[in-house]
């Protein structure tokens, strides 16, 4: 038996909708088996994982908190990847954005003005963009591969933050522990509603996704991104410059990652510390592809991925399964989602031995 | 002391070299598998488990190779048969690998491992300096050198290697020439997985003979970067891997030397050295656009579906 | 729609058989937040062993729960809040990085009791606790000075926080009480947990001429290296004798169980108070692994020091002590106050490393 794919003439709208549902169904079936093997009640476990986090208000807020940085970073990366620029280092741009955005509250803790917050956000964007400018410069000027440079810069950014909070930016009243002073009230990104922790980063994320969706769909720039992404040659004939696009997409994705960094520090943490991200910059890469590099799709995939974190934690707390089992389950879900997406572009045929063709209804 | 430091560098560099070599072959066939970290950690846990259960580190090595190779099949099925996105699938593979290895390895935490003993070549090992460094090493080191030579020969001298590169450069043309693209890519992906598994085995049998979760600690990512660094050429992987290892070990010694001299250097800056050095060296060697382009597999990461 | 969800929830709850029955409600919940995996073989595993001891000792009265691999940051706040909402009566957050998150959640849930390990912020319902690891390190220093032929020890350090600096100083002070010229070389691995890097650091120190190793990182990799190279070493967080049967002199074993049982009993009695607790050898929050691989007289000395520390006769940070630059810190007979120790950011004389200020 073997599997053959046949390209559909048109992208199947039907399967665009069915495929995620099918993936969910498969995940549920295999998840049930996994939980059963772990000696837990399958239905109860799945309920805790997928449904419970969506029923309570505080948990919905947490979902938004978790999804915001993922979406913000991923929409920028989507433009990058669509234009064939491989920024793998969003994690580093996130870190540097968090640092540059924190300059004002750390150095001027006595400055109480409404102006501080917008300035912090802008400085975060600039920091992230400048950090992404390094691989952009190296790529356009020295022809250095951006996958490698952006990835290496992640480690360097992390160590730089580490040095800052243990050295010059350490809170003098913090018993020499590696944290900066807590930001003044004016420097904290406010919550959207009184009912929970979700703050403005989520709104930034939605706005950024909408804006980029609009750009990709209706603006010449979006067309430029797609054309250059598909073929640099074709782009050249259209008068587009791959070099300028490398700059544009890297600065854009770096700036958004920087914004995510400073919003996370300002809205969720309230000070700088050695570890400010559980790998958002890397997880966002999955989010970007899971959302099919479409900004609106990324809103959905960001929320789904955030749900798997929350659900995994809920399952851990309620069932005392290990974090590893939650991680395995998350990996499984990603695999199903990715493989079911095939159905949107292809028809799948199962070829049985003896050349008989069984058309799977897919 | 130089000899001792060199031995440390070899141990630290070997897993990077081995994993990067495997990924090089995978990428030369046009497939980008970002799941090296996941396959490596699976190799590490399989190797450790098998060595503990059988009592032989050699069984462990086999299990590591097998575990990594088998795990990579999952990636192969998704990206080659179902043409799922390679970048996302590779990252998901890493998430799954880290979770699964933790689950498998839970019972082995805290057990002292079995160290793979060196194979000492008689006579040759008596050569001053080189004898100790080159001819009294463990099997995985010898394999790593053999892999460099072998892969170099395979890619640039053998017929199959030529086909593999042809697929990596243009799968459509290769397909038109009657080469079985999917089958070759499956083999290349599994070879990459097996090498990552072997690198993992080195971690849990040679480098630090024990099992702890996440013990690969990001080495899979470095291996990935090395492939790019080496612009897809085996010898450069050897050079890059040892450069990275040497700077990493060197910074530890630099800390102690600085202490002896009474100099203050923040250790974070020293820790950042290997990464910075990698960037700088890459800038120097990649300014020639043409050679880089020649070596980059043109269809890297692009999906292929045979039309019929 | 809402009704449907509730109906679904109810049926799922029935099928799932959640433990929300009356019986479970009688037991109080004691919950733990871990920064690492509970089988990390180091810091977190020690806390989890403590939790298991608590289960064994008071399992008929309390139920324990944990969340592992919780990242420090907003995730921590959510994880802690989850436990608070799940009606945990006492929540232990076992990493310094959870401090602000614990403070925030504690303010939101005044009826829940919180305990944060190794931090310095407290509240009426938030206690802090820590272990006087330095007492064990002082004993190790003395043993090192007796056992080292070269008079130089190597210290594999993680990050320059007061806890680690304090440990380095205590080790050096212990060593100097035996051999005034004893030297200590420090390598910062910049990680708590990377066996490969820890092994590399161990090798670097040995190649630079130390003949005794001690570590403030989590895995047994340095112990294994010491064992291969045939030198002696001290274990960290747990008894690492299995990794070096002929190598380990002793180890500082984190035995949080004693503390967790004590505090849970206080909770059950109603005598729980928010305190800033810093327990030591005498309280059983840390214990020394058996003294092995040393002559009897050294062992006797170590045991004597341990007894003196327990009885309060000996405080490792008792003057005269000079700072690294030779300036006086403590006068003869003067003991350091806890505040200085908890915020320690300077070395004592004899440490070769320089701390970036």
**Rg of chain B (C-alpha set):** 20
Number of domains in chain A: 1
Confidence at residue C10, expressed as pLDDT on a 0 to 100 scale: 43
Give alpha helix (H) positions in chain C. 2-16, 22-26, 43-58, 74-85, 99-108, 133-147, 162-176, 195-207, 221-229, 256-269, 296-311, 338-342
> Are C155 and C295 contained in the same domain?
yes
**H or E element at residue B23:** helix B2-28
Residue C174 lies in a domain: yes
- Which CA distances in Å does A172 have to A98, A178, B265? 20, 10, 21
Give alpha helix (H) positions in A186-322. 200-218, 220-230, 232-237, 242-263, 280-290, 295-319
Confidence at residue B111, expressed as pLDDT on a 0 to 100 scale: 86
- Whether the CA torsion C271, C272, C278, C282 is positive or negative: it is positive
Domain boundary at C131, C161, C179, which?
C131
CA distance C357 to C342: 17
> Are C122 and C138 contained in the same domain?
no
Number of domains in chain C: 2
CA distance A226 to A222: 6
CA dihedral of residues C321, C323, C329, C334 (deg, nearest 10): -20
Under a CB-based contact definition with an 8 Å cutoff, are residues C49 and A87 in contact? no
Which among C160, C221, C352 has the least Cβ separation from residue B260? C352
What's the pLDDT tens digit per position in B21-61?
Answer: 999 999 999 999 999 999 999 999 999 999 999 999 999 99
Task: Please calculate the CA angle B17-B22-B27 and round it to the nearest 5 degrees.
Answer: 120
Most C CBs within 10 A among B45, B102, B212, B218, hence the mutation to make, goes to B212
Which among C40, C221, C356 has the least Cβ separation from residue B266? C356
> Are residues A167 and C66, on separate chains, in Cβ contact within 8 Å?
no
Mind telling me how many Å the CA of B203 is from chain C's nearest CA?
Answer: 8
Confidence at residue A353, expressed as pLDDT on a 0 to 100 scale: 59
Q: Give ipTM to 2 decimals.
A: 0.90
> Are residues B95 and A339, on separate chains, in Cβ contact within 8 Å?
no
Q: Are strands C232-237 and C212-215 parallel, antiparallel or unpaired?
A: parallel
Does domain B2-117+126-295 fall into CATH 1.10.3470?
A: yes
What is the CB neighbour count within 10 angstroms for residue C335? 11
B121-141 core/surface letters (b: 16 or more CB in 10 A; e: else): eeeebeeeeeebbbbbbbbbb
The answer for B300, left when phi > 0, alpha when psi is -120 to 50, beta otherwise, is beta
Residue A10 lies in a domain: no
When the pLDDT of each residue in chain A is averaged and rounded to a whole number, the result is 89
> Are C98 and C231 contained in the same domain?
no
Q: Are strands A357-359 and C88-93 parallel, antiparallel or unpaired?
A: unpaired
> Are C119 and C215 contained in the same domain?
no
CA distance A284 to A90: 8
Task: Please calculate the CA angle B124-B129-B134 and round it to the nearest 5 degrees.
Answer: 55
Which among A55, A309, A317 has the least Cβ separation from residue C65? A317
- Domain containing C298 equals 134-253+286-342
- Whether the CA torsion A112, A117, A122, A127 is positive or negative: it is positive
- Count Cβ atoms within 10 A of the Cβ of residue C111 and give its class: 0-12 exposed, 13-18 middle, 19 or more buried: exposed
When the pLDDT of each residue in chain C is averaged and rounded to a whole number, the result is 89
CA distance C215 to C202: 9
Residue C74 lies in a domain: yes
> Are C70 and C164 contained in the same domain?
no
Residue C261 lies in a domain: no
Average of per-residue pLDDT across B157-184: 92
Average of per-residue pLDDT across C121-147: 95
In this predicted structure, the answer to whether residue B267 has a pLDDT above a threshold of 90 is no
What's the length of chain C? 357
Looking at residue C87, the DSSP 8-state letter turns out to be T
> Are residues B112 and C187, on separate chains, in Cβ contact within 8 Å?
no
- Whether the CA torsion B182, B187, B191, B194 is positive or negative: it is positive
Domain boundary at C131, C154, C174, which?
C131
Confidence at residue A252, expressed as pLDDT on a 0 to 100 scale: 97
Confidence at residue C4, expressed as pLDDT on a 0 to 100 scale: 44
In this predicted structure, the answer to whether residue B238 has a pLDDT above a threshold of 90 is yes
Confidence at residue C200, expressed as pLDDT on a 0 to 100 scale: 95
Under a CB-based contact definition with an 8 Å cutoff, are residues A320 and A230 in contact? no
- Which CA distances in Å does B170 have to A228, A320, B23, B25? 19, 50, 18, 15
> Are C32 and C81 contained in the same domain?
yes
> For position C59, which CATH number holds?
3.40.50.2300
Instruction: Say if residue C320 is preceded by a cis peptide, omega within 30 of 0.
Output: yes
> Are C87 and C144 contained in the same domain?
no
CA distance B256 to C201: 10
In this predicted structure, the answer to whether residue B91 has a pLDDT above a threshold of 70 is yes
CA distance C150 to C162: 28
Domain boundary at C131, C160, C185, which?
C131
> Are C230 and C176 contained in the same domain?
yes
C67-102 core/surface letters (b: 16 or more CB in 10 A; e: else): bbbbbbbbbbbbbbbbbbbeebbbbbbbbbbbbbbb
Which among B209, B262, B268 has the least Cβ separation from residue C190? B268
Subunits adjacent to chain A (3 or more Cβ pairs under 8 Å): B, C
A236-252 core/surface letters (b: 16 or more CB in 10 A; e: else): eeeebebeebbbbbbbb
Residue C351 lies in a domain: no
Residue A133 lies in a domain: yes
Contacts 24+ apart (CB under 8 A), C336-341: C338/C278, C341/C134, C341/C162, C341/C166, C341/C317
Most C CBs within 10 A among B208, B209, B263, hence the mutation to make, goes to B208
The answer for C219, left when phi > 0, alpha when psi is -120 to 50, beta otherwise, is beta
Mind telling me how many Å the CA of C245 is from chain B's nearest CA?
Answer: 10
Under a CB-based contact definition with an 8 Å cutoff, are residues A175 and C162 in contact? yes
Confidence at residue C20, expressed as pLDDT on a 0 to 100 scale: 43
In this predicted structure, the answer to whether residue A134 has a pLDDT above a threshold of 90 is yes
The token pair that represents C247 in the structure block: 């190598």
CA distance C125 to B116: 53
In this predicted structure, the answer to whether residue A360 has a pLDDT above a threshold of 80 is no
- Whether the CA torsion B243, B249, B255, B256 is positive or negative: it is negative
The token pair that represents A16 in the structure block: 């665009």
Under a CB-based contact definition with an 8 Å cutoff, are residues C108 and C231 in contact? no
What is the CB neighbour count within 10 angstroms for residue B173? 12
Confidence at residue A1, expressed as pLDDT on a 0 to 100 scale: 63
Average of per-residue pLDDT across A152-170: 93
> Are residues C68 and A58, on separate chains, in Cβ contact within 8 Å?
no
Crossing angle of helices B2-28 and B234-261, in 10° steps, is 150
Confidence at residue A7, expressed as pLDDT on a 0 to 100 scale: 79
Confidence of residue A354 (pLDDT cuts 50, 70, 90): low
Ordered DSSP codes for C199-240: HHHHHHHHHTT-SEEEE-SSSSHHHHHHHHHT-EEEEEES--
**3-state secondary structure string, B34-61?**
CCHHHHHHHHHHHHHHHHHHHCCHHHHH
- Whether the CA torsion C225, C228, C232, C235 is positive or negative: it is positive
Nearest Cα residue in chain B from A290: B88
What's the pLDDT tens digit per position in A317-335?
Answer: 888 888 888 888 889 888 9
- Domain containing A128 equals 67-302
In this predicted structure, the answer to whether residue C106 has a pLDDT above a threshold of 80 is yes
Q: How far is CA C14 from the centre of its chain?
A: 42
The token pair that represents B218 in the structure block: 């990001």
Residue C18 lies in a domain: no
Contacts 24+ apart (CB under 8 A), C109-116: C109/C81, C109/C84, C112/C84, C112/C88, C113/C89, C113/C267, C113/C272, C113/C274, C114/C80, C114/C90, C115/C90, C115/C91, C115/C263, C116/C92
Looking at residue A189, the DSSP 8-state letter turns out to be P
> Are residues C188 and B255, on separate chains, in Cβ contact within 8 Å?
yes
Under a CB-based contact definition with an 8 Å cutoff, are residues C48 and C32 in contact? yes
| Cross-strand bridge partners of residue B211 | none
What's the pLDDT tens digit per position in A29-88?
Answer: 998 998 898 888 889 889 998 898 999 899 999 999 999 999 999 999 999 999 989 999
3 state SS of C185: strand
Which among B78, B88, B95 has the least Cβ separation from residue A290? B88
CA distance C242 to A304: 44
The token pair that represents A307 in the structure block: 């749900």
**3-state secondary structure string, A282-313?**
HHHHHHHHHCCCCHHHHHHHHHHHHHHHHHHH
Contacts of A307 (CB under 8 A, 6+ apart): A50, A53, A54, A63
CB contacts < 8 A (B, C): 112
Under a CB-based contact definition with an 8 Å cutoff, are residues C287 and C132 in contact? no
């Amino acid at each position: 038996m073997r599997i053959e794919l046949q390209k559909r003439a048109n992208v199947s709208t039907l399967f665009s909708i069915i495929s995620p549902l099918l993936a969910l169904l498969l995940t549920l079936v295999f998840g049930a088996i996994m939980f059963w093997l772990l000696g837990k009640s399958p239905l109860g476990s799945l309920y805790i994982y997928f449904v419970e986090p969506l029923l309570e208000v505080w948990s919905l807020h947490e979902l938004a908190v978790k999804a915001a940085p993922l979406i913000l970073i991923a929409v920028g990366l989507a433009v990058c990847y669509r234009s064939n620029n491989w920024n793998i280092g969003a994690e580093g741009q996130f870190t540097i954005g968090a640092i540059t955005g924190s300059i004002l509250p750390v150095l001027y803790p006595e400055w109480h003005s409404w102006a501080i917050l917008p300035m912090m956000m802008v400085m975060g964007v600039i920091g992230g963009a400048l950090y992404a400018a390094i691989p952009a410069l190296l790529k356009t000027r020295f022809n250095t591969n951006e996958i490698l440079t952006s990835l290496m810069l992640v480690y360097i950014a992390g160590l730089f933050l580490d040095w800052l909070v243990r050295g010059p930016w350490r809170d003098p009243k913090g018993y020499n522990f590696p944290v900066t002073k807590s930001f003044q009230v004016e420097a904290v990104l406010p919550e959207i509603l009184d009912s929970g922790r979700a703050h403005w980063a989520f709104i930034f994320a939605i706005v950024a996704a909408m804006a980029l969706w609009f750009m990709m769909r209706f603006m010449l720039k979006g067309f430029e991104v797609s054309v250059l992404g598909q073929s640099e040659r074709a782009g050249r004939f259209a008068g587009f410059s791959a070099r300028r696009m490398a700059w544009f997409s890297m600065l854009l994705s770096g700036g958004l990652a920087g914004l995510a960094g400073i919003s996370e520090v300002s809205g969720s943490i309230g000070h700088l510390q050695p570890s400010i991200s559980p790998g958002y910059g890397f997880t966002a890469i999955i989010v970007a592809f899971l959302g099919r590099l479409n900004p609106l799709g990324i809103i959905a995939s960001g929320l789904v991925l955030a749900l798997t974190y929350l659900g995994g934690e809920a399952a851990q707390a309620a069932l005392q399964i290990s974090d590893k089992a939650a991680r395995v389950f998350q990996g499984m879900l990603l695999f199903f989602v990715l493989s079911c997406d095939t159905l949107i572009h292809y028809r799948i045929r199962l070829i049985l031995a003896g050349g008989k063709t069984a058309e799977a209804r897919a | 002391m130089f000899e001792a430091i060199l031995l440390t560098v070899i141990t630290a560099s070997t897993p990077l070299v081995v994993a990067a070599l495997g990924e090089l072959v995978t990428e030369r066939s046009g497939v980008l598998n970002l799941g090296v970290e996941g396959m490596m950690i699976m190799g590490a846990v399989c190797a450790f488990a098998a060595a503990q259960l059988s009592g032989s580190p050699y069984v462990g090595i086999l299990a590591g190779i097998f575990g990594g190779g088998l795990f990579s099949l999952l990636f192969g099925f998704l990206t080659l048969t179902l043409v799922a996105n390679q970048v996302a699938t590779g990252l998901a593979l890493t998430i799954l690998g880290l979770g699964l290895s933790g689950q498998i390895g839970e019972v082995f935490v805290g057990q002292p491992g079995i160290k793979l003993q060196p194979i000492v070549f008689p006579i040759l090992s008596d050569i001053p300096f080189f004898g100790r460094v080159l001819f009294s090493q463990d099997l995985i080191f010898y394999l790593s050198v053999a892999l460099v030579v072998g892969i170099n020969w395979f890619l640039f001298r053998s017929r199959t290697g030529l086909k593999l590169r042809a697929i990596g450069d243009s799968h459509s043309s290769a397909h038109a020439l009657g080469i079985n693209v999917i089958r070759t890519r499956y083999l290349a992906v599994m070879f990459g997985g097996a090498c990552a598994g072997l690198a993992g085995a080195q971690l849990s049998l040679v480098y630090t003979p024990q099992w702890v979760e996440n013990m690969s600690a990001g080495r899979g990512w470095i291996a990935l970067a090395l492939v790019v660094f080496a612009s897809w050429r085996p010898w450069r992987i050897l050079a890059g891997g040892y450069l990275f290892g040497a700077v990493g070990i060197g910074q530890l010694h630099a800390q102690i030397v600085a202490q002896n001299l009474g100099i203050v250097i923040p250790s974070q800056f020293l820790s950042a050295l290997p990464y910075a050095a990698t960037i700088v060296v890459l800038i120097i060697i990649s300014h020639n656009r043409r050679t880089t382009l020649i070596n980059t597999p043109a269809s890297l990461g692009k999906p292929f579906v045979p039309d019929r | 729609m809402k009704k449907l969800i509730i109906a679904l929830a109810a049926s799922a709850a029935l099928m799932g058989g959640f433990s929300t029955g009356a019986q479970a409600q009688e037991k109080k919940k004691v919950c733990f937040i871990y920064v690492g995996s509970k089988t990390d073989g180091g810091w977190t595993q020690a806390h989890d062993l403590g939790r298991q001891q608590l289960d064994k000792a008071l399992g008929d009265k309390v139920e324990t729960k944990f969340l592992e691999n919780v990242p420090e940051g907003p995730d921590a706040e959510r994880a802690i809040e989850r436990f608070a909402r799940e009606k945990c009566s006492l929540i232990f957050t076992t990493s310094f990085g959870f401090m602000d998150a614990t403070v925030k959640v504690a303010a939101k849930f005044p009826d829940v009791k919180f305990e944060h390990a190794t931090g310095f912020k407290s509240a009426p319902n938030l206690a802090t606790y820590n272990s006087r690891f330095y007492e064990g390190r002082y004993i190790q220093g003395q043993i090192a000075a007796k056992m080292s032929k070269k008079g130089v020890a190597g210290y594999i350090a993680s990050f320059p926080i007061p806890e680690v600096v304090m440990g380095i100083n205590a080790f050096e002070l212990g060593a100097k009480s035996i051999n005034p010229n004893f030297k200590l070389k420090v390598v910062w691995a910049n990680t708590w947990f990377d066996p490969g890097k820890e092994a590399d650091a161990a090798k670097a120190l040995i190649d630079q001429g130390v003949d005794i190793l001690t570590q403030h990182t989590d895995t047994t990799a340095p112990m294994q290296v010491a064992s291969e190279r045939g030198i002696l070493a001290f274990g960290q967080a747990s008894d690492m004798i299995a990794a070096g049967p002929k190598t380990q002199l002793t180890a500082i074993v984190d035995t949080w169980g004693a503390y967790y049982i004590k505090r849970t009993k206080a909770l059950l009695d109603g005598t729980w108070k928010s305190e800033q607790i810093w327990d030591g050898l005498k309280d059983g929050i840390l214990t020394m692994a058996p003294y092995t691989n040393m002559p009897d007289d050294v062992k006797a000395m170590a045991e004597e020091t341990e007894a003196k520390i327990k009885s309060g006769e000996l405080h490792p940070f008792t003057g005269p002590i000079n700072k690294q630059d030779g300036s006086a810190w403590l006068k003869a007979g003067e003991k350091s106050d806890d505040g200085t120790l908890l915020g320690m950011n300077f070395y004592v004389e004899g440490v070769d490393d320089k701390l970036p200020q």
